[in-house]
Amino acid sequence: MSTYHSLNNEEAISLAKSIPGIFSESTVLNCREIGDGNLNLVFHVTSENSTESIIIKQAVPYAKVVGESWPLSLDRARIERQSLEIQHRLCPDLVPQVYSYSDDLAYTAMEDLSEYTIMRKGLIDGNIYPNFAEHIGQFLARTLFFTSDLGMNQQEKKELAGRFVNPDLCKITEDLIFEDPYRASANNNYSASIEDEAEALRNDIPLHLEVALLREKFLTHAQALLHGDLHTGSIFVTTESTKVIDPEFAFFGPMGFDIGAVIGNLLLNYVAQPGWNQNGEDLTIREDRLLEMAKDVWTNFESSFRTLWNNEILDEMFQTPGYQDHYLTELLRDTAGFAGCKMIRRIVGLSHVADIDGIQDDSVREAAQRKALAIGKNLVRHNRSVNSIYDILKLVQLASTEIGVSK
Ligand code: SR1
Ligand code: MG
């Protein structure tokens, strides 16, 4: 019989005390539930003098953002924990350490990252993260390469994929990203001022064809173990350091979905900049920095991935000259398409981003929404003809020209 129930603060404290080596025996512990995400409870347990602390994350059996009418499997807590363990093994500096867990209670106790900032907030505040592109490029290259048929035993990969079947969370993505924005769905959420844009999305058949092709890839292309929800709210940063959290959407899917998530979210912050910075010169500097960062994410990923391929490839046929270049071009195209889908869903679908929704001025917010949609649609429409990261930047510029703004 399941022992599952949602934890209270006292239970979180006793769980924290039972983990060896974190808190000293005599310390009094405090606990606060700080979960502000869409799906889970998050307990922050600290010693009285705040020198030691941990996070206990517990899944609830429904989507918190909607309520009990949207049931969700608790198995996502196991999937998240096992992904964290794999990612931590592959990138120890870039992923928090798991201390303990219970699959019955659907919780994971892990390293506290309180001294870090959620990247989405840091970017809204205009902070600079000079190491981010290199770190995330490495995270993407190592986690994707070593869980794919390129860098892992192909029989073991099939076994592993069986442990990451994640139907409930994949269904959220299939609906929210690859269907709802293109039809009149009750899940959709946008202001009346952009009804024209929403209607255009519903009627754009050539766009639907591209989304259908990307949806099919998401459904069928079990290329590697993905994080599955790698937006800037799933990344903690300081100026020096980067930590990737929250892989509860993990499953074996197309690599470009993770890379596109990072780039799409940087572009969402890019379009939002006029809402957070009124000084023309600073605004241009910030916008340029974000485009540069989006470019650097890909270039860092690509060079790490090629190095891994050259040194660690296991499959002999995959060493055929030309195959690596072909693979990377396909991957870049997927990245462009998925980045575009991610941008579109955050404007008209369920669950938006603070970068844009937090803009106070209605007309500036609306301009950012329209620009996000223009870029997102361009990336989706033209994803299959992209040949370099500079083509992606050109599509971003083209969208800005199309909607009549200089950048
Ligand atoms: C119902 S969950 C809504 C969104 O939150 C998560 O972070 C994912 O992005 C999901 O699509
Ligand atoms: Mg999350």
What digits encode the pLDDT tens for the residues 191-224? 999 999 999 999 999 999 999 999 999 999 999 9
At 279-293, the pLDDT tens digits run 888 999 999 999 999
Encoded tokens for 351: 């669950």
Q: Which residues have C-beta within 8 Å of that of residue 131, sequence separation ≥ 6?
A: 239, 240, 241, 242
- Cα of 38 vs centre of ligand 2, distance in Å, is 7
- Cα of 209 vs centre of ligand 2, distance in Å, is 28
Position 2 confidence tier, pLDDT thresholds 50, 70, 90: confident
3-state secondary structure 137-156: HHHHHHHHHCCCCCCCCHHH
- Cα of 220 vs centre of ligand 2, distance in Å, is 23
Which residue in this structure is represented by tokens 């190592």?
142
User: What is the position in ligand 1's atom list of the atom closest to the CA of 350?
Assistant: 3
Superfamily grouping for domain 9-111: Phosphorylase Kinase; domain 1 (3.30.200.20)
- Cα of 221 vs centre of ligand 2, distance in Å, is 22
Q: Do domains 9-111 and 117-406 have the same CATH topology?
A: no
Q: Is 32 helix (H, G, I), strand (E, B) or coil?
A: strand
Q: What is the spatial distance between Cα 48 and Cα 15, in angstroms, rounded to a whole number?
A: 16
Q: What is the spatial distance between Cα 144 and Cα 252, in angstroms, rounded to a whole number?
A: 10
pLDDT at 407 over 80: no
Ligand nearest to the CA of 64: 1
CA nearest ligand 1 atom 3, residue? 351
Neighbouring-strand partners of residue 67: 63
Q: Read off φ and ψ for residue 89, nearest 5 degrees.
A: -65, -40
Global pTM? Answer: 0.97
DSSP state of 278: -
At 325-352, the pLDDT tens digits run 999 999 999 999 999 999 999 999 999 9
Report in angstroms the alpha-carbon separations of 159 from 147, 240, 262, 327, 402: 11, 37, 28, 24, 48
Which CATH architecture describes the domain 117-406? Alpha-Beta Complex (3.90)
Q: Which residues have C-beta within 8 Å of that of residue 237, sequence separation ≥ 6?
A: 116, 117, 118, 119, 122, 127, 129, 132, 243
User: What is the position in ligand 1's atom list of the atom closest to the CA of 345?
Assistant: 11
Q: CB within 6 Å of ligand 1 — which residues? A: 38-39, 63, 65, 172, 176, 229, 351
Encoded tokens for 363: 């007309």
User: Counting beta carbons within 10 angstroms of the beta carbon of residue 121, is it exposed (0 to 12), middle (13 to 18) or buried (19 or more)?
Assistant: middle
| Residue ranges per structural domain of the chain | 9-111, 117-406
Neighbouring-strand partners of residue 30: 46
